[in-house]
Structures are given as C-alpha cells and as structure tokens.
Amino acid sequence: MKNYKNILTETEGAISIITIDRPKQLNALNKETIAELHEAFDNFDKDEKVRAIIVTGSGEKAFVAGADIKEFMNFDSVQGRELAAKGQKLLFDFVENLNTPVIAAINGFALGGGLELALASHIRMASDNAKMGLPEVSLGVIPGYGGTQRLAQIIGKGRAMEMILTAGMIDATTALNYGLVTEVVSQAELMDAAKSKAEKLLKNSPKAQSFAIKAVNASYYKNGFETEKDLFGQAFATEDFKEGTTAFVERRRAKFTGK
C-alpha cells in the first residue's frame, strides 16, 4: 500500500477506506491532497477486488473544512477558475463518475469543498456531531467544486439557495431531514455503520452498479458546472474576496463593500 503525505488508505476485504489526514488544518483540501486523493480513488477504482470505497476525515472534529483558503487567497481570477476546473476534473467530477460506489462518512465539519466532496460521493452518512454548509459567500467567493449544482440536485433548489446565500451550517438532524445524508449515528459508530452500508453493496453486480451510477448521473445537465467555474474565477478579482479571505486568516469579521 502506497504511503501518502496527506491521506491514509487501507483495504479490508472488498472495502477500501480513504482518510483525509490533515487534522491540524481540519483536513482542508490543498492541491497536493487533491492530487493524492485522485490517485487513491483511481487505483481503488481500477482494482477489481475493491467493491466499495469509504471516504472520511482524520480526527474527531472535521470531515473536511473546505478548500485550503490559505493556499488560494492570493490567486487572481484566472488562477481561481483554474483551481475550480482542475479540482473538479481530478476529484469531484472524477469521484461522481467512478465505477465503484463511494460512501462519504461525514465525521464532523463538512464545509465548502468538504461538503462538495460528500456531494460528489454516491452515498452520504454522518455522525451526530457533523455540521455541513457551503460558507464560500462569507469569503467573497462561491462554491467552486460543484456545490452550486450538486447541492441543489440533492436537497432541492430552495434549500440549496438558502444554505448557499446565508453561508450557514446545518446539523446532522437537519441534513437527514433534507435528504442530504441518509443515516446519522454517533461518531463512535460511524465507521462501522459505513462498513455495514458498504457490505450491502457487495452482493450486487459491480458492472450493473457502475452502469447505474452513469445512468443516474446522466440526467443532470452539465452547463451549470461551466458557469460555476467562470463565476468562481470572477469572484477572485473582487475586493470582497480579498477582504473575506484576509478576514478569515486574521480571525475577524469581514467588512464587505460589494466591490
């Protein structure tokens, strides 16, 4: 098994587990982590013995607290668009279209790119301490890893609009009510629950499952993803983006001017 810097991988029988392992940064997704995740998902997907993949976060606090704000805060709009496009290609669109079913075991904060990774997964379950949200507009940017599209697809446009525009977080019970996750258990029980969900996948035809993933995904228009990338990039050219990301690092409330 390959050693990665930012993720841990293991396989138990036909179930592989990928754990994002930057707990001090609440498992935020920097470029290197995204590249490692791509490689791990790709390798497991190509391995015929692997029939289900569980993705989770290290530590008790976070699944993933988003894209790494410190890495992109000085990007311009071209770099911003590129960040979204590359991330979606390597990880978010990639996971959504894998042949092997992916279960997101959301063990704490799933914010921004973290929730977007869960949204790209095929099945989502959460621990009862989990908090989910797309807080990007509080940073002067928009969700750029597919969140504007997939959140609306999964919980409906009205609830998605409210979550995205308020930048608020919802708890696990609300997420269950919204259909954002299909099961909530205690944090101690989460991995066992994810594994028993994965076991249920093993008895069915892997070929048919991979066709089913493609068929379900086929009904969603993809133009929205292009618009999202364009607008994500444009947001990087605004004063609000500079203010929002700087305020985050300086641990103060952002003062937005709308410019």
Kindly state whether residue 109 participates in binding ligand CAA, applying the rule CB under 6 A.
Answer: yes
CB of 69 or CB of 198, closer to ligand CAA: 69
> Contact, 53 vs 41, CB < 8 A?
yes
Length of the chain equals 259
Residue ranges in 140-199 that form contacts with ligand CAA under rule CB under 6 A: 143-145, 147
235 binds ligand CAA (CB under 6 A): no
In angstroms, what is the minimal distance from the CB of 126 to ligand CAA? 15
82 is catalytic: no
Binding of residue 240 to ligand CAA (CB under 6 A): no
Q: Least CB distance from residue 69 to ligand CAA, whole Å? A: 4
C-alpha 116/C-alpha 150 separation (Å) is: 8
Q: By CB under 6 A, how many residues form the interface with ligand CAA? A: 21
State the Cα–Cα distance between residues 158 and 155, nearest whole angstrom: 8
10 Å Cβ neighbour count for 232? 25
Shortest Å distance, C-beta 91 to ligand CAA: 10
Alpha helices in the chain (DSSP H): 31-46, 69-72, 77-87, 93-96, 113-120, 147-155, 157-166, 172-178, 190-202, 206-218, 223-235, 239-249
67 binding ligand CAA? (CB under 6 A)? yes
Task: Tell me if 90 contacts ligand CAA by CB under 6 A.
Answer: no
**Given the DSSP bridges, would you call strands 131-133 and 62-64 parallel, antiparallel or unpaired?**
unpaired
- Residue 230 near residue 80 (C-beta atoms within 8 A): no
Stretch 113-142: interaction string toward ligand CAA, x if CB under 6 A: x--x------------------xx--x---
The residues binding ligand CAA (CB under 6 A) are: 25-26, 28, 65-70, 109, 111-113, 116, 135-136, 139, 143-145, 147
**What amino acid positions are annotated as catalytic residues?**
116, 136
